[in-house]
Structure 1
Amino acid sequence: METTGIGEIARRTLVVLLIVGLALLTVQFAFVFMLIFSAVIVAALIRAAGWPFRKMGAGDSLSVFLGLFLILAVLGGAGWLFGAQLSEQFTEVGQQLPQAFERARSLANEVPFLRSFLSGTPDFQSIAGRALSFAFGAVGAITNFVLVIVAAMYLALEPGLYVRGVVKLFPKSKGSRVREALSASGQALNQWLVAQGLTMIIVGVLIWGGLSIVGVQSAGALGVISGLTNFIPLVGPFIGAAPGVLLALSQGGDALLWTCVVYVVAQQLEGNVLTPMIQKYAVSIPPAVLMFALAALGSMFGFIGVIIAAPLAVVLYVLVTLLWVRDTLGHDAEVQGIDAPPPPDSNAPEAGGETQPS
């Protein structure tokens, strides 16, 4: 009995040390985990693009390569159609934004309340520069990009291989539930990416057309910026609107007024019409969860953390709901829009577990 007790204490001590070691490794290699999840997102996009080819009877590997080719063809076609025009407009925006920012700052200094507020705030231009420098220069943009793309192709070609590897980290009796939860989280990520992609395209086109009508310079580049920043929920629309508002401010009061109208109308359509329609087929996450995810990952990893905060929150939300809230705590919980399996019967053995012969 004494030997058994000592062995049990040693086993528990080793488990605690292993957990602490994994936690320390997670902190040390957090940036690597961000790159891994970025590869997962790209792999999900590639497999989503290959879905029509799988429906037409193409094999899994062939559909992945065809999906990648489709993405490259769409990007190449858009670059061929609009590349020269947008390149010039982005150059103009880059040249005009510093002047517009200084003009807005000088106007704000004329208001006593805003003057005292600005005197106590840091230089946002330098903050943005440091964030971009951290995101793209800490390890090397080209190296990170190639690493993510190559890893994404491996993940897209054989997702089951890596899912089985993750499942083996859990007890055998829980393997089927973990596999089902991972499948549900992958489905949720695919649906969220497709829904968000549609919203980004529509918002970008609306901003492009609206700013062109009211006569704002570089409307195409501003539309692209709004569409891309719309990938970030909640705060993305405000980030995307800032360059357009600053440039309109330098063109005069009328341009500023109509520019604000364009952004407000586009975002109201997105928030009250597009998102409710599209999110019926995707996972809906409580806004507070997204806000905390954006704040936490943004403070830890800057630009990259803000970009992947929402899709990471989608995956973790599904996993926590299915594995912890439902299967472990036993609450009646489900994820909207996901074909998740029913909760296990407490009186029945787990799938994959050992059954006693009768």
Structure 2
Amino acid sequence: MTMDLGELVRRTLVVLLLVGLALALPMLTPTLLLIFGAILIAVLIRSAAWPFEQMGLGNTASVLLGLATILLLLFGFGWLFGAQLSGQFASLQAQLAEAAPQVRAQLERLPFIGDLAEATPDVQDMAGQAVNFAFGFLGLVTNLVLVIVGAAYFALDPDVYKRGLSKIFPRDRSAKVIEAMDASGHALKRYLLGQLATMTIVGVMVWIGLAIVGIPSAAALGLTIGVFNFIPLIGPFIGAVPGLIIAFSAAPDLFWYAVLVYLVAQQIEGNVLTPMVQNWAVSIPPALLIFALAAAGGLFGLIGVILAAPLTVVIYTLVTMLWSRDALGHDVKVPGRDTPEPEPAKG
């Protein structure tokens, strides 16, 4: 089979383009993460705009009202609880700075654990690193503004970007690509809404539980565990550390009460809330999620761990539709949909 000069040039250019993209990918990674962060916020804005669309308002008005609703909710939360949480977080920082050396000293007295404690980094050094990270984070305000502005544009007219992205694929595949992007956006919306509900419920349960057993700064600790719950599998353990340190430094009884509060909250989250959310939104195999966290952390660092789960939802949905269903012809259940996709017709 002979190949004419035009086809040879076209294929050569395609190969060179793919090689160039592969070489540029490490440099493009920060920008790609910013784009995905903007997509996440755009999905939330579109979710908030949905009730206004059902009222018959236009797309632009609905999106702007959805964005205003999110901002008003954040402002209202800050107005109602901002002063209390600010004071509690300041108190929590002081308590952690005082409690950490006491906990370390008590652990060093225990057999086996003492050797492990001596091998761990000094808490004051870690605190210094955290402060440096915080100042570095403040320097990312420009990127945050960029993400929010990009999210607003994505939310106002997502079809423009989907159609543009579909044009890098063959014409006969463009419709399938757009359908897969729509499905991944729907699955991502369900996942984010489910996670927000789970984070809120877990945070409130820990807040109430710690307040009942008498651990200080219960509201701040509840908000901490709620935020860290966005990171699946490892987030709840990280979010529980500040409360356990404070309780351990105060009294052994409080420590075990705190363990009980966190354990009950996570059991309810793992055995009741998460199955309900996955049944409604998208169920990702746990092993796949573990390796996705490891891979994203290795490739992108901390921000990769934070974005690993929603990124996995998107990739999992795209692979399910474009590869398992369309390319291989399997009868599969598309994440975020209630019924399996029918097997495509042959011929």
Could you tell me the TM-score, scaled by structure 2's length? 0.93
Letter in 1 for 2:160: L
Cα distance per residue 1:289-323 (max 9 Å; x no partner): 21122222223333322211111110010001111
Offset, 1:336 = 4.2
SS in 1 for 2:233: coil
Cα distance per residue 1:192-219 (max 9 Å; x no partner): 0010000011111101100000000000
Cα distance per residue 1:31-56 (max 9 Å; x no partner): 11111100000000111111111112
Offset, 1:126 = 5.0
Give the direction of change, closer, same or farther, for the CA distance of 1:123–1:291 in structure 2 (3 Å limit).
Answer: farther
Q: Which residue of 1 aligns with 2:344?
A: 344
Letter in 2 for 1:327: D
Offset, 1:123 = 4.9
Letter in 2 for 1:315: V
Q: Distance in 1 between matches of 2:135 and 2:343?
A: 43
Letter in 1 for 2:238: I
1:224 paired to 2:228? no
Letter in 1 for 2:285: P
Contact 2:221 2:243 in 1 (8 A): yes
Offset, 1:134 = 6.1
- The 10-residue stretch of structure 1 (21-30 or 98-107) with the greater mean CA deviation from structure 2: 98-107
Aligned residues: 346
1:165 paired to 2:155? no
Q: Distance in 2 between matches of 1:205 and 1:166?
A: 41
- The 10-residue stretch of structure 1 (109-118 or 279-288) with the greater mean CA deviation from structure 2: 109-118
1:77 paired to 2:76? yes
Q: Distance in 1 between matches of 2:128 and 2:184?
A: 34
Contact 1:35 1:144 in 2 (8 A): yes
Q: Which residue of 1 aligns with 2:287?
A: 288
Q: Which residue of 1 aligns with 2:275?
A: 276
Offset, 1:29 = 1.3
Offset, 1:18 = 1.2
What stretches of structure 1 of length at least 5 have no aligned partner?
A: 348-358
Give the direction of change, closer, same or farther, for the CA distance of 1:143–1:129 in structure 2 (3 Å limit).
Answer: farther
Offset, 1:227 = 0.7
What stretches of structure 2 of length at least 5 have no aligned partner?
A: none
Q: Distance in 2 between matches of 1:128 and 1:304?
A: 19
Residues 205-216 of structure 1 correspond to what in structure 2 (within 5 A)?
A: 205-216=204-215
Contact 1:135 1:301 in 2 (8 A): no
Cα distance per residue 1:72-104 (max 9 Å; x no partner): 111111111111110000001111212222222
Q: Distance in 2 between matches of 1:85 and 1:263?
A: 22
Residues 50-199 of structure 1 correspond to what in structure 2 (within 5 A)?
A: 50-123=49-122, 126=125, 137=136, 140-199=139-198
Q: Which residue of 2 aligns with 1:323?
A: 322
* Higher-RCO chain (CA-CA 8 Å, sequence separation at least 6): 1
Cα distance per residue 1:164-209 (max 9 Å; x no partner): 0111110000011111100000000000001000001111110110
- The 10-residue stretch of structure 1 (216-225 or 59-68) with the greater mean CA deviation from structure 2: 59-68
Q: Distance in 1 between matches of 2:42 and 2:123?
A: 34
Cα distance per residue 1:138-182 (max 9 Å; x no partner): 793210110000000000000000000111110000011111100
Q: Distance in 2 between matches of 1:28 and 1:128?
A: 30
Q: Distance in 2 between matches of 1:18 and 1:135?
A: 39
Give the direction of change, closer, same or farther, for the CA distance of 1:107–1:300 in structure 2 (3 Å limit).
Answer: farther
Give the direction of change, closer, same or farther, for the CA distance of 1:324–1:121 in structure 2 (3 Å limit).
Answer: farther
Q: Distance in 2 between matches of 1:139 and 1:269?
A: 35
Give the direction of change, closer, same or farther, for the CA distance of 1:277–1:175 in structure 2 (3 Å limit).
Answer: same
SS in 1 for 2:270: helix
Could you list the structure 1 runs, at least 4 aligned residues long, displaced by more than 6 angstroms after superposition. none
Q: Distance in 1 between matches of 2:286 and 2:240?
A: 20
Letter in 2 for 1:346: K
1:252 paired to 2:251? yes
RMSD of Structure 2 on Structure 1 (CA): 2.2
Give the direction of change, closer, same or farther, for the CA distance of 1:95–1:206 in structure 2 (3 Å limit).
Answer: same
Give the direction of change, closer, same or farther, for the CA distance of 1:151–1:124 in structure 2 (3 Å limit).
Answer: farther
Could you tell me the TM-score, scaled by structure 1's length? 0.90
Contact 1:232 1:307 in 2 (8 A): yes
Letter in 1 for 2:332: A
Contact 1:134 1:302 in 2 (8 A): no
Cα distance per residue 1:95-134 (max 9 Å; x no partner): 1212222222222212232233234444577568657856
- The 10-residue stretch of structure 1 (24-33 or 137-146) with the greater mean CA deviation from structure 2: 137-146
Q: Which residue of 1 aligns with 2:303?
A: 304
Offset, 1:5 = 5.5
Percent identical = 55
